[in-house]
Amino acid sequence: MGAAYFYHLTRGPLEDTLPMLLERSRQAGWRVVVRGMDEGRLRYLDEKLWQVAEDSFLPHGLAGGPQDALQPVLLGADVTAEANGAACLMAVDGAAVSPEEVNGLDRVCILFNGLDEAAVQQARVQWKSLTDAGCAAQYWSEESGRWEKKAETGG
């Protein structure tokens, strides 16, 4: 049984935080699906992931190609964990996550822009929906300059 980790981004953009979380997920041995709402935004993130650092390599691809099942990290708007055997789902830009996904995966990460009030409200709705359904959840904030757990529910 997994848990939903909410990441409240206030110090840096998604493009800075996503690669760090993907690297950690890959170090844990997980395949990852990154689900977004907009194909253009996902293409942008795809490009940014290729530019992370010269001394690092984060293999990934956009969903919809013939090699989806082989991708360690797969980005898409309607992509599910089954597409590449993912153990972790990262939802960005308000993408939906179901309680079944939280309970069926090792980890679900919900990343949201803390400087966008609509994104914060959407994250609050997701937190309530998932925790009311009995999912374990943690809320992480970088407001102090480093990531700190601010809330947790056992599910």
Q: What is the pLDDT of residue 56?
A: 73
Q: How many domains does the chain have?
A: 1
Rounded CA-CA distance 51/33 in Å is 19
Strand order of the β-sheet with 73-76 is 61-62, 73-76, 32-35, 88-92, 107-113, 3-9, 136-141, 148-153
List pLDDT tens digits, range 63-104.
998 999 999 999 999 999 999 999 999 999 999 999 999 999
Number of residues that this document lists for the chain: 155
Q: What DSSP state is assigned to residue 143?
A: T
For the full predicted model, state whether its pTM sits above 0.75.
yes
Distance CA 68, CA 139 (A): 31
For residues 26-37, average pLDDT: 96
**In CATH, what number is assigned to the domain containing residue 59?**
3.40.50.10110
Q: How crowded is residue 135: how many other Cβ atoms within 10 Å of its Cβ?
A: 24
Residues 7-27 pLDDT 10s? 999 998 999 999 999 999 999
Q: What is the extent of the structural domain holding 30?
A: 3-153
DSSP string over 37-51: S-HHHHHHHHHHHHT
